[in-house]
Amino acid sequence: MADFENFDVLFASDRSFAYGEQTITQILKSRRAAHNGLLIDKLLKTLGVARPQDLYPPRSNQSLRNLHSQIIESASPDHHKQSLLYYILKDTQDHHTTSSNFARAAFLPQKYRVFIDGIWLLDRGDFENALGYLTEPVLIPTFPEDILYLLCTHPNQQDDKLPLAYYYTVSPAVTSPRVTEAFFEKLAMNSVTEALAWSRQYDEPSHRKLFAQLIQLVLGGPEGESRARRSVELIHLPFSKEEEAWFEAYLTDGEGKNLYGAKDAYKVRTVATGNCNAIAGRADAYGDKSDHLMDWSSLGSSYEQGSMTSAR
C-alpha cells in the first residue's frame, strides 16, 4: 500500500510541487461560479478540515503540505483520506498517471475513485462527463442535493436535460427548499404535466407554493409558441378540488393576477370545466365584464342554458 501519510513519498516525483497560478485562478473562478462552494470544500469539511476554502487551492508547496497534513490528521477512515488525496493528485500536471498510480497502489475501492472522478469534473464545469461517473450504479448517492442544485443553477450549465437525467437516475430525496424550487423550475420547463404530478408529493403548503410557481413559470414565460402551448397544457390539466381553488385564487386575487394572460387563463379554464357562471361572479375582480369584445357573463348563461336544453 502507498505510504500516503508521507508527503515526500506521495509527491516523490516532485517534492517541491506547487499549484501553478493558472490552476489556482481557474479553481477560484470555478468556486465563484459554483455559488462559492466546490464539492471538494464540502468533502474537506466532512473530514473535519477547518476553513477548507483557506487551504484549497494551496498557494505554495508549504500550503500543500499543510493541506496534506490536515487530511492525514483527521479522524476519518483511510479510504476517505485517500479519496481526498486522489482528488488533489488529479490537479497535478501529469494527473492521469500520478492519480491512477496512487489509486492502484492504495487499493482505493472503485466506488470512491468513480465518485472523486465525478466531482472533480463537476468542480471544473465538465457537467456532462461528470454525470457519466456520478450516475454509476456502483455509487451510493453522496451530496445528491448539492449536485442537483449545481446542475440546475450553475451559470455555465445550459443543458436543461442534465438535472432531469441526474434526478431520474439517482432518485435523490429533495428536501431543501432552494433545491426544490430550482429543480421544479427545470422540471416545469420540460413538462407542465410532470411538474404538477411531482408537486403533489409534498405537504399542502409546499404543494400550493409549487403550484403557484408552476402557473408563474407558464404564464410568465417568454412570449411565443412555447408559452402558448404550455398555457394550453396547464389549463387542461386535471386539477384536484384544492388545486382548482388555488388556481382561481392565484389568478384572480393573488400574485398571479397581473401575469400575462391571467384573466384569459382563468376564464378558459372555467369554460373548459363547465363552471361558466363563476366567471360572472369573478368579473369584478378584473374591473370589467368583457374581454376582447366577448361578454363572459352572457357566455356563462348561454352555456348553462345550452346544457339544460341538451339535457331535455
Binned at pLDDT 50, 70 and 90, residue 86 comes out as very high
The number of beta carbons lying within 10 Å of the beta carbon of residue 105 is 13
Q: Can you spell out the DSSP letters for 190-208?
A: H-HHHHHHHHTTS-HHHHH
pLDDT (mean) for 144-159: 96
Cell numbers placing 107: 487499493
| pLDDT tens, residue by residue, 173-217 | 999 999 999 999 999 999 999 999 999 999 999 999 999 999 999
Predicted pLDDT at 3: 81
Radius of gyration of the chain (CA): 28
pLDDT (mean) for 232-241: 94
Whether 216 and 256 have beta carbons less than 8 Å apart is answered as yes
Reference 242, options 268, 282, 206, 296; nearest CA is 206
Whether 302 and 288 have beta carbons less than 8 Å apart is answered as no
Residue 294 β-bridge partners: 291
Q: Residue with C-alpha cell 442544485?
A: 149
pLDDT at 296 exceeding the cut of 70: no
Whether 185 and 217 have beta carbons less than 8 Å apart is answered as yes
pTM for this entry: 0.86
Cα–Cα distance for residue pair 133/135, rounded to 1 Å: 6
3-state secondary structure 38-52: CHHHHHHHHCCCCCH
Q: Any residues with CB less than 8 A from the CB of 47 and at least 6 apart, and which?
A: 71, 74, 76, 80, 81, 84
Predicted pLDDT at 12: 83
Predicted pLDDT at 291: 43
Cα–Cα distance for residue pair 59/61, rounded to 1 Å: 7
Residue 291 β-bridge partners: 294
Q: Can you spell out the DSSP letters for 122-164?
A: HHTT-HHHHHHHHT-TTPPP-SHHHHHHHHHH-TT---THHHH
pLDDT at 37 exceeding the cut of 50: yes
Cell numbers placing 113: 475513485
Alpha helix (H) ranges present in 175-261? 177-190, 192-199, 204-219, 225-235, 241-252
What type of residue sits at position 290?
Answer: S
| pLDDT tens, residue by residue, 63-78 | 999 999 999 999 999 9
Predicted pLDDT at 283: 54
